């Protein structure tokens, strides 16, 4: 069974389908009535022809004479030129007409002079036959006049009437369907208005958890809106909980880690045995990894919760230049070079500068961790889109990441850094938050290119 998802279409089907069924039933009734009218009218004409012949029958001396009037069969004339057959019988003997035209049973003919009718097959054709018994003064037995006519004219009249009635019904159904369309659209316009209002909320950069006004929606939709408002309240509490967690974690976790790291660094400067020194070095590295992991988790939580970071716009070119200045020393220490290719500036995007910095830092750190020696940051723009890409000449996307590159905590075996496997996940979450997209490309010459596209804004 086909499932219709559009409410407008469902409403149209619900209204038009009964209309079509009604039209079909009316058409069947029209066909029956039309057939009755055509048969009754044609039978009256056939009976008129029989009576016209009956009026011409007279008894002369010792025999019956029939003087057929020329208009007797004119009553049965039609564009279809039906074949007409007749005969006049007395005591079973044919006085005039077709000898083989079937005779009526004597009991079937009314004695009061009223015509009787039947449909028979004559000369391999269906004909409608009428007969009347006439008592002629002087004649010993009643005279039976019988006239038969083929059915072509009846069928033509019936088909013409049915075609006309059918065309009228189809036209009416089509007209009503056309009138129902704007009526259905008008009836569902409050639902469309509600949809547009909710769409504006989803397009907003900051989450809008304000309840939807119940009084502005139709009565049938109010229970749905009430349930939606309840869901909004739960979502708002959940987002607030994430925000509080990230704020508390930023302070409560970083401070103890900084203290532990400081004390380990002091202890490492003292005289220790080789084993103790190795243990302190391992502890410092573990604290560094833990600190980096916590920072990445907090960044991911903020990105997915839609947490704001002040002014929601930034210049990609300025952020890229700032990152080159901050990361050049580390890149040099790891034997890599950072390059910058800016085709136009400023390039505005609807994302706060600290978040753009997180995207760039994660991409560059990812390139360094996987052995990139030449890392290039590119910035370009079109009339409606801003583009940021980071390319490196490392080993490319590891096989473990090729099927799910943005999955959390996924790290390839080529990684040499202290990464957490959250870098690309954070990049994707931040890009989608700004209405953008992320694409990973593996050039034929090797390496990896990560491209991000954002809606362009004016600064």
Which residue in this structure is represented by tokens 């659209």? 185
Residue 274 lies in a domain: no
User: Would you say 338 and 300 are in contact if contact means Cβ atoms under 8 Å apart?
Assistant: no
Arithmetic mean of pLDDT over the chain: 80
Residue 300 lies in a domain: no
Report how far residue 25's alpha carbon sits from residue 448's, in angstroms, rounded to the nearest whole number: 69
> In terms of residue numbers, what domain contains 445?
310-455
- Say if residue 182 is in the same domain as residue 197: no
- Say if residue 130 is in the same domain as residue 4: yes
Residue 384 lies in a domain: yes
302 CB contacts (<8 Å, ≥6 apart)? 246, 309
Report how far residue 229's alpha carbon sits from residue 209's, in angstroms, rounded to the nearest whole number: 8
- Say if residue 144 is in the same domain as residue 247: no
Q: Mind giving me the DSSP string for 338-387?
A: EEEEESSS--EESS-HHHHHHHHHHHHHHHHHTT-SEEEEEEEE-SSEEE
Report how far residue 73's alpha carbon sits from residue 67's, in angstroms, rounded to the nearest whole number: 13
For residue 312, is pLDDT > 50?
yes
For residue 325, is pLDDT > 50?
yes
Better pLDDT: 295 or 67? 67
Confidence of residue 341 (pLDDT cuts 50, 70, 90): very high
Q: Mind giving me the DSSP string for 429-458?
A: HHHHHTT-EEEEE--TTSSEEEEEEEE-B-
Report how far residue 75's alpha carbon sits from residue 54's, in angstroms, rounded to the nearest whole number: 14
Report how far residue 9's alpha carbon sits from residue 13's, in angstroms, rounded to the nearest whole number: 6
Which residue in this structure is represented by tokens 């997209």? 437
User: Would you say 128 and 154 are in contact if contact means Cβ atoms under 8 Å apart?
Assistant: yes
Confidence of residue 390 (pLDDT cuts 50, 70, 90): very high
* pLDDT above 70 coverage of the chain, percent: 81
Domain count, the chain: 3
Q: Is the pTM of the predicted complex or chain greater than 0.85?
A: no
Report how far residue 329's alpha carbon sits from residue 307's, in angstroms, rounded to the nearest whole number: 31
pLDDT on residue 379: 93
Query: Is the preceding peptide bond at 49 cis, omega within 30 degrees of 0?
Result: no
Nearest to 152 by CA among 64, 101, 84: 84
User: Would you say 371 and 335 are in contact if contact means Cβ atoms under 8 Å apart?
Assistant: no
Per-residue model confidence as pLDDT tens digits over 423-448: 788 888 888 878 888 888 877 667 88
Nearest to 422 by CA among 254, 253, 283, 298: 298
- Say if residue 29 is in the same domain as residue 177: yes
3-state secondary structure (DSSP) of residue 175: helix
User: Would you say 356 and 319 are in contact if contact means Cβ atoms under 8 Å apart?
Assistant: yes
Better pLDDT: 139 or 99? 99
Per-residue model confidence as pLDDT tens digits over 28-69: 998 899 999 999 999 999 988 888 888 888 877 777 777 777
For residue 122, is pLDDT > 90?
yes
Span 177-206, mean pLDDT?
A: 75
Report how far residue 171's alpha carbon sits from residue 266's, in angstroms, rounded to the nearest whole number: 94
Q: Which of 145, 167, 187 is the last residue of a domain?
A: 187
Residue 280 lies in a domain: no
For residue 151, is pLDDT > 50?
yes
- Say if residue 4 is in the same domain as residue 66: yes
Nearest to 363 by CA among 338, 400, 345: 338
Q: Which of 187, 214, 243 is the last residue of a domain?
A: 187
SS3 of the chain: helix, strand, coil, percent, to 5: 50, 20, 30
User: Would you say 158 and 35 are in contact if contact means Cβ atoms under 8 Å apart?
Assistant: yes
Better pLDDT: 67 or 456? 456
Q: Which of 187, 206, 236 is the last residue of a domain?
A: 187
For residue 188, is pLDDT > 60?
yes
- Say if residue 14 is in the same domain as residue 86: yes
- Say if residue 182 is in the same domain as residue 195: no
pLDDT on residue 14: 83
Better pLDDT: 127 or 66? 127
pLDDT on residue 71: 74
pLDDT on residue 238: 77
For 436, counting Cβ atoms within 10 Å of its Cβ (0-12 exposed, 13-18 middle, 19+ buried), the class is buried
3-state secondary structure (DSSP) of residue 229: helix
What is the separation of C-alpha 216 from the centre of its chain, rounded to a whole number of angstroms?
A: 27
Range with the poorest average pLDDT among 95-99, 314-318, 351-355, 368-372: 368-372
Q: What is the DSSP letter of 409?
A: T
pLDDT on residue 128: 93
Residue 239 lies in a domain: yes
- Say if residue 102 is in the same domain as residue 134: yes
Residue 47 lies in a domain: yes
Report how far residue 36's alpha carbon sits from residue 39's, in angstroms, rounded to the nearest whole number: 5
Residue 373 lies in a domain: yes
- Say if residue 173 is in the same domain as residue 196: no
Per-residue model confidence as pLDDT tens digits over 353-379: 888 888 898 889 888 887 778 999 999
Checking DSSP bridges between strand 116-122 and strand 385-392, what pairing results, if any?
unpaired
**Mean pLDDT comparison of 125-139, 255-269, 378-392, highest-scoring range:** 378-392
Span 58-85, mean pLDDT?
A: 79
CATH of the domain at 384: 3.30.565.10
For residue 310, is pLDDT > 50?
no
Confidence of residue 8 (pLDDT cuts 50, 70, 90): confident
Better pLDDT: 307 or 360? 360
- Say if residue 229 is in the same domain as residue 332: no
Report how far residue 19's alpha carbon sits from residue 10's, in angstroms, rounded to the nearest whole number: 14
For residue 335, is pLDDT > 80?
yes
pLDDT on residue 240: 73
Report how far residue 355's alpha carbon sits from residue 349's, in angstroms, rounded to the nearest whole number: 11
- Say if residue 338 is in the same domain as residue 318: yes
Q: Which whole-number Å values give the CA distances from 114 to 16, 69, 94, 147, in the listed order? A: 49, 20, 21, 14
Residue 295 lies in a domain: no
What is the separation of C-alpha 154 from the centre of its chain, rounded to a whole number of angstroms?
A: 49
Per-residue model confidence as pLDDT tens digits over 232-251: 888 778 767 766 766 666 65
- Say if residue 345 is in the same domain as residue 208: no
Span 347-357, mean pLDDT?
A: 87
């Amino acid at each position: 069974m086909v499932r219709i998802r559009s409410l407008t279409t469902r409403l149209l089907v619900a209204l038009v389908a009964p209309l079509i069924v009604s039209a079909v039933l009316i058409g069947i009734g029209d066909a029956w009535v039309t057939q009755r009218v055509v048969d009754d009218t044609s039978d009256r004409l056939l009976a008129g022809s029989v009576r016209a012949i009956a009026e011409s029958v007279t008894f002369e001396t010792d025999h019956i004479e029939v003087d057929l009037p020329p208009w007797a069969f004119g009553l049965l004339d039609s564009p279809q030129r039906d074949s007409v057959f007749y005969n006049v019988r007395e005591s079973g003997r044919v006085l005039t007409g077709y000898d083989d035209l079937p005779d009526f049973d004597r009991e079937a003919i009314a004695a009061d002079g009223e015509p009787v009718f039947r449909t028979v097959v004559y000369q391999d054709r269906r004909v409608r036959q009428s007969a009347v018994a006439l008592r002629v003064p002087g004649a010993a037995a009643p005279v039976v006049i019988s006239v038969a006519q083929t059915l072509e004219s009846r069928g033509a009249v019936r088909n013409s009437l049915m075609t006309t009635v059918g065309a009228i019904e189809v036209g009416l159904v089509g007209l009503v369907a056309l009138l129902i369309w704007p009526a259905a659209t008008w009836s569902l316009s409050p639902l469309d208005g509600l949809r547009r209002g909710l769409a504006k909320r989803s397009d907003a950069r900051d989450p809008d958890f304000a309840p939807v006004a119940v009084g502005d929606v139709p009565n049938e939709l109010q229970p749905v809106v009430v349930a939606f408002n309840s869901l909004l309240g739960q979502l708002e509490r959940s987002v607030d909980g994430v925000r509080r967690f990230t704020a508390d974690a930023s302070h409560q976790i970083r401070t103890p880690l900084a203290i532990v790291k400081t004390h380990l660094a002091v202890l490492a400067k003292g005289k220790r045995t080789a084993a103790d020194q190795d243990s302190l070095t391992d502890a410092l590295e573990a604290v560094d990894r833990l600190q980096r992991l916590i920072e990445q988790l907090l960044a991911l939580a903020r990105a997915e919760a839609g947490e704001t970071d002040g002014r929601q716009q930034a210049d990609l070119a300025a952020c890229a230049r700032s990152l080159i200045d901050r990361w050049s020393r580390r890149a040099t220490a790891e034997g890599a070079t950072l390059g910058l290719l800016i085709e136009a500036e400023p390039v505005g995007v609807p994302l706060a500068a600290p978040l753009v910095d997180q995207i760039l830092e994660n991409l560059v750190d990812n390139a360094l961790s996987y052995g990139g020696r030449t890392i290039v940051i590119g910035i370009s723009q079109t009339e409606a889109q801003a583009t940021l890409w980071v390319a490196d000449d490392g080993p490319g996307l590891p096989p473990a990441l090729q099927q799910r590159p943005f999955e959390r905590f996924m790290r390839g075996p080529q990684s040499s850094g202290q990464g957490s496997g959250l870098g690309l996940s954070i990049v994707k979450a931040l890009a989608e938050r700004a209405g953008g997209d992320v694409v990973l490309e593996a050039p034929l010459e090797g390496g990896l290119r990560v491209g991000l596209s954002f809606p362009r804004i004016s600064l």
